[in-house]
Amino acid sequence: MSLKNVKNEEKNRVTLEIVIPKADFDAAVSKVFAKKSKSIVINGFRKGKAPRSVIEKIYGKGVFYEDALNDMLPEVLKSAVEESKAEIVSSPELEVGDINDEGVQLTAKYYVKPEVTVKEYKGLKAEKTVRTATDEEVDAEISRVRERNARTVDVTDRAAKDGDVADIDYEGSVDGKVFEGGSDKGHKLTLGSHSFIPGFEDQVIGHSVGDEFDVNVTFPEDYHAEELKGKAAVFKVKLNGIEFKELPELDDEFAKDVSEFDTLDEYKADVRAKINDRYSAAADNEVENKLIDALLENTEVDVPQCMFDEEADAVLRNYESNMAQSGISMEMYLKYTGMTPEKMKEQVMPQAQRQVKTRLALEKAAQLEKIEVTPEETDKEIASIAESYGMKPEEVKNMVAPSMVENDVKNKKILDFIKANAEITEKPYEAPKADEPAKKPAAKKPAAKKPAAKKPKAAPAEDKPAEEKAE
């Protein structure tokens, strides 16, 4: 292979003019002939025994050219790119020119990594919200643990009350006619959960096991079934059983059962510390994102669209892999959500654009700061990746180029440098007022969701809007 010329006539584009020497190309053609000729049948010759000159006379002189070029191109292009020292970021646009006594003339056009200007990366400003766990949050966390460790007790000596779980059979009718989807047997209904239409659960409270009774309700005007909106209904109900959750006592024994601690005070202190750790990690993540925002505001770069497209595809591949681990195929996800591959790519594109710009900005800042990565640091990162995925370091090296890992380590080091040299001011966390909605968390990467479970027989629950059901 001979790299004849390198042209940079377009922004973020490079054109490589390449010549494959005639001798190399002829050797590749002969190799293809030796492989292909075995299956070629020509009248007057036994199968695979026709001379090359006869085959070329019948099918044309270039009958083996395409296969020869396809065999040679990967190595030819790799060598040309390495010789040109171009930092390519796309697949080539190939054009095959003359095939003559000199050899094969080729041109390969690539997009290359764009020029990046970072005006400032030291002294960036960010505000950090300092939040600590309240007594109420600690108590709420412990209450959730008590709920998970509660035991179910059958009730036989009293009537149903708020908070109990009632096992019921029911059959609903409107104007004396049973309506579709309004019946079920052995349904577990938590009284006070408001999962059924208003008034239903209140009329179960006070009844005992074995009771059969009528529940009279009126469907809401905004009920999902058009034929039931605003209609009065009667449900014939039988109470099969009553259960309630018995929470464990909040004492030292409880602490021993659910933790590694011997006393309730030690357990509470640990719960508080873990909540504080979560808040601290969230605050650090928020600061990091703010500093990246500030870095991007100080960065000028014209990114080729192909880099965004490749990053978006990588995000979606990762998304698909995560779903597969949950037992959900991409086909299943698209079916349940009504999405299309094109719509999904459009949805993740802003995330992909930010990731590409951030990576380019960090790389430029690392270059300006002369950040270096030692082989030991790269090996340590590979070992960490291997451990997190349950693999061997050698397997990671076979899947990911060490140079890519080195770049990731370098970006982490420059990000740590940016944080260490930033002006970070702290402010105390302020809980939203009662009449103010809580702030939504920052947008996250799309997470694989399992398809929503189907309701049993369209129970007489007050239906939720479609967007709430999806959750």
pLDDT in tens, 144-173: 999 999 999 999 999 999 999 999 999 999
What is the band of 106 on the pLDDT scale with cuts at 50, 70, 90? very high
Q: What are the E-state strand segments in 155-248? A: 165-174, 177-190, 212-218, 232-246
Query: What pLDDT is attached to residue 456?
Result: 31
**Architecture field, domain 2-113:** 2-Layer Sandwich (3.30)
Write the CB contacts of 437 (distance below 8 Å, at least 6 apart in sequence): none
Domain boundaries, the chain: 2-113, 151-246+453-471, 262-428
Res 437 pLDDT > 60: no
Mean pLDDT computed over 389-415: 91
What are the backbone angles phi and psi of residue 281, rounded to the nearest 5°?
-65, -40
**Rg (the chain; Cα; Å):** 34
Res 262 pLDDT > 70: yes
Res 275 pLDDT > 80: yes
Query: What pLDDT is attached to residue 434?
Result: 65
Lowest mean pLDDT among 48-57, 208-217, 448-457: 448-457
Query: What pLDDT is attached to residue 467?
Result: 33
Which residue in the block uniquely carries the two structure tokens 């710009």? 357
What is the band of 9 on the pLDDT scale with cuts at 50, 70, 90? confident
Residue type at position 200: F
- Cβ proximity of 223 and 201 under 8 Å: no
* Distance between start and end Cα atoms, the chain: 57
Res 460 pLDDT > 70: no
Distances (CA, A) of 74 to 6, 10, 225, 228: 18, 24, 61, 67
How far from the centroid of its chain's Cα atoms is residue 35's Cα?
Answer: 45
Which residue in the block uniquely carries the two structure tokens 């719509």? 343
Give 171's Cβ-side CA count (13 Å radius). Answer: 6
**Segment 322-380, tens digit of pLDDT:** 899 889 999 999 988 889 999 999 999 999 999 999 999 999 999 999 999 999 999 99
Res 278 pLDDT > 70: yes
Mean pLDDT computed over 278-298: 97
Which residue in the block uniquely carries the two structure tokens 């009504």? 338
Mean pLDDT computed over 197-210: 95
Mean pLDDT computed over 102-116: 95
409-429 b/e with 16+ CB inside 10 Å = b? bbbbbbbebbeeebeeeeeee
Most confident segment among 44-48, 273-277, 441-445: 273-277
- Cβ proximity of 214 and 237 under 8 Å: yes
Q: What are the E-state strand segments in 90-231? A: 93-100, 103-111, 116-118, 125-130, 151-154, 165-174, 177-190, 212-218
Strands 2-7 and 13-21: antiparallel
Which residue in the block uniquely carries the two structure tokens 């009774």? 213
Mean pLDDT computed over 204-216: 96
376-402 b/e with 16+ CB inside 10 Å = b? ebbeebbeebbeeeeeeeeebbeeeee
What is the band of 436 on the pLDDT scale with cuts at 50, 70, 90? low
Comparison of pLDDT for 234 and 443, the residue scoring more: 234
Res 445 pLDDT > 70: no
Q: Which two tokens stand for residue 176?
A: 């004396």
What is the band of 1 on the pLDDT scale with cuts at 50, 70, 90? low
Res 411 pLDDT > 90: yes
Mean pLDDT computed over 22-46: 90
Cα–Cα distance between 413 and 372 in angstroms, integer?
9
Q: What is the mean pLDDT of the chain?
A: 89
Is the CATH number of domain 262-428 1.10.3120? yes
Query: What pLDDT is attached to residue 461?
Result: 44
What is the band of 435 on the pLDDT scale with cuts at 50, 70, 90? low
Among 114, 396, 127, residue whose Cα is nearest residue 288: 127
**Architecture field, domain 151-246+453-471:** Roll (3.10)
Which residue in the block uniquely carries the two structure tokens 């395409």? 66
